[in-house]
Amino acid sequence: MIHQYKNNGYDIVLDVNSGAIHIVDDPTYDMIGEYEQKSKEEVISDIARKYPQETEEDIREAYDEITQLKDQKALFTPDPYQDRVIDYTRRPTVVKAMCLNVAHACNLSCEYCFADEGLYFGKKAELMSFETGKAALDFLISHSGQRRNLEVDFFGGEPTLNFDVVKQLVAYGRQREKEAGKHFRFTFTTNGILLNDEIMEFANQEMDNVVMSIDGRKEIHDRMRPFHNGDPTWDIIVPKYQKFAAMREALGKQYYVRGTYTRYNLDFAKDILALADLGFRQISIEPVVAPREAPYSLRTEDIPVLCEQYDILSREMIKRHGTPEEFNFFHFMIDLEGGPCVYKRLSGCGSGTEYVSVTPDGSIYPCHQFVGKTDFCIGDVYNGISRDDIVTEFKGCNVYSRPKCRECFARFYCSGGCSANAYNFTGNLRDVYEIGCALEKKRIECAIMLKAAYREKGE
């Protein structure tokens, strides 16, 4: 299977199953498109007629090179994974990552919040106790098998509302990792309101990554991420984020600013560039996933506009490449040489199997986006997993169990997409969220084009 497309002056051919990428000229691009549909002489005749400036010798040489690439399994490669996926679903459950919801409470009122303003559809705000957090870390260690590196993301709601417990849990994790021969990689996500020097200093010592929420331009951010009384927040958080990001960069520590775009800012490339112009070098702006009836939700008719925004963004990134204004965009960062292991390429984030989310009362869910959906509660940190049937269902989620993924060129990059989005929009874990798929495919195309452009510029 191949995928061909043109972007920013590049003719790009992706061999889906091998991952090989070819940047070719127009005659070769068209020749590859006909290669498996017509005989050699028919293809050569078509190309000679369409490109009279090309000699027959050059056309035949190009055809032979395509044949060599096919023989080398770099074009038209058969799928090597389809028969192997069953073996992965039978593997024992090994948990290696946990989203620790230390606060089901928030000091903001973000209009698009999937977590019901941090309450996760509960009746009242709730903070995780140190004892519950300890049990969660113990659960992770005991279910991690031979994995040494374990990921813990302090999440909410807003985790800084319960930061004393965060600090206690980090200390406990450092103690337990020595005893158990593990290593915790801690992350926390914040809206920035309570961010201060003490929190920054602690995070710089203990957090492998920090995620700072901001939606871009001031007017966009303040519309969607105000206080509960409607007051704006952008002016409060931006100076803190700039300071925090500068500290992390100086220390060689990871961070990124993360936002959400909606139907209110279909020109979201401007928001990404606004963040870059504020000095942030690691940026993620993601499409909102919201009920169809929400006024800010994305619609099918928006897809062409949104795809053009990714083209605008990628062209600007090429201009800034190699300059002090260069930045990384999370969704364009793909590894074309190494990349994830085969299991990861087939099954994605591992929700419900390798990755779980824990609520303040210790309940375990497949991921943070299923929290509050009681039918998806798979156990608790005190008694372990009690719903093996749900875990088994999630183990079976992969690019081959989703019919719409089987023939999609992007399947080994997106790994079948988000199970939560699929369920929320279709009621089926093994279906797909169509708008998300369209945008993911566009991002992959832009990311590959960027690799070609950067290489051309001498990277």
In-domain check, residue 55: yes
405 — pLDDT class (breaks 50, 70, 90): confident
Q: Convert the pLDDT of each residue in 166-210 to its tens digit.
A: 999 999 999 999 999 999 999 999 999 999 999 999 999 999 999
How many domains, the chain? 1
Rounded to an integer, the average pLDDT of 120-146 is 90
Identify whether 259 is preceded by a cis peptide bond (ω within 30 of 0): no
The counts of H helices and E strands in the chain are 16, 16
Q: Convert the pLDDT of each residue in 429-441 to its tens digit.
A: 777 888 989 999 9
In the predicted structure, residue 301 carries a pLDDT above the cut 80: yes
SS3 content of the chain, % helix, strand, coil (to 5): 45, 15, 40
**If you average pLDDT over every residue of the chain, what do you get?**
90
Question: Residue 450's pLDDT is what?
Answer: 94
In the predicted structure, residue 359 carries a pLDDT above the cut 90: yes
Rounded to an integer, the average pLDDT of 91-120 is 84
Largest CA distance in the chain: 76
Rounded to an integer, the average pLDDT of 329-357 is 71
Residues 6+ apart with CB under 8 A from 312: 269
In-domain check, residue 13: yes
Q: Assign 188 to helix, strand or coil.
A: strand
Question: Residue 346's pLDDT is what?
Answer: 63
In-domain check, residue 51: yes
What is the residue range of 41's domain? 2-80
In-domain check, residue 111: no
382 vs 266: CA distance, rounded Å: 45
Rounded to an integer, the average pLDDT of 415-436 is 82
In-domain check, residue 219: no
In-domain check, residue 238: no
Asked if 346 and 88 count as a contact pair (C-beta separation under 8 A), the reply is yes
In the predicted structure, residue 241 carries a pLDDT above the cut 60: yes
Structure tokens at 280: 């942030």
In-domain check, residue 18: yes
In the predicted structure, residue 218 carries a pLDDT above the cut 90: yes
Query: For residues 389 and 52, which has the higher predicted lDDT (pLDDT)?
Result: 52
Question: Residue 83's pLDDT is what?
Answer: 66
- What is the four-CA torsion angle of 319, 325, 328, 329, rounded to 10 degrees? -70
Poorest-confidence range of 201-215, 279-293, 351-365, 388-402?
Answer: 388-402
Asked if 20 and 51 count as a contact pair (C-beta separation under 8 A), the reply is no
What percent of the chain lies above the pLDDT cut of 70?
93
Asked if 3 and 14 count as a contact pair (C-beta separation under 8 A), the reply is yes
In-domain check, residue 148: no
| Residue 29 Cα to chain centre, angstroms | 30
Rounded to an integer, the average pLDDT of 44-71 is 95
393 — pLDDT class (breaks 50, 70, 90): confident
In the predicted structure, residue 457 carries a pLDDT above the cut 90: no
Poorest-confidence range of 62-71, 123-132, 334-343, 387-396?
Answer: 334-343
118 — pLDDT class (breaks 50, 70, 90): low
What percent of the chain lies above the pLDDT cut of 90?
69
